[in-house]
Amino acid sequence: MSADSVFYLETGRESELFAKAWAARLPLMVKGPTGCGKTRFVEYMAAKLGRKLITVACNEDTTATDLLGRHLLIGGETRWTDGPVTRAVREGAILYLDEVAEARADAIVVIHSLTDHRRELFLDRTGETLHAPPEFMLVVSFNPGYQRSMRELKPSTRQRFIGLGFSYPAEDLEIRIITGETGLEDKQARSLVSIAKKVRALTELSLLESVSTRLLIDAAKLIQAGLPPRYAATVAIAEPLTDDPDALAAIRQVIELTL
Taking the C-alpha atoms of residue 250 and residue 198, their distance in angstroms, rounded to an integer, is 11
Instruction: Calculate the CA 22 to chain-centre distance.
Output: 18
Q: Which residue in 58, 60, 64 sits closest to 39, CA to CA?
A: 58
pLDDT at 152: 72
DSSP states of 11-63 as a string? Answer: SSSHHHHHHHHHHTT--EEEE--TTSSHHHHHHHHHHHHT--EEEEE--TT--
Cβ(241)–Cβ(64) under 8 Å? Answer: no
d(CA 184, CA 222): 10
Contacts of 225 (CB under 8 A, 6+ apart): none
Mean pLDDT per segment of 10 residues, for the chain of length 259 residues? 79 96 98 93 97 96 94 86 97 96 90 94 93 97 66 84 94 96 97 97 89 97 98 98 95 96
* Rounded-to-integer distance, Cα 43 and Cα 146, Å: 23
CATH number assigned to the domain covering 3-165: 3.40.50.300
Phi-psi region of 226 (alpha: psi -120 to 50; beta: other; left: phi over 0): left
Q: For the chain, give every domain's residue range.
A: 3-165, 171-258
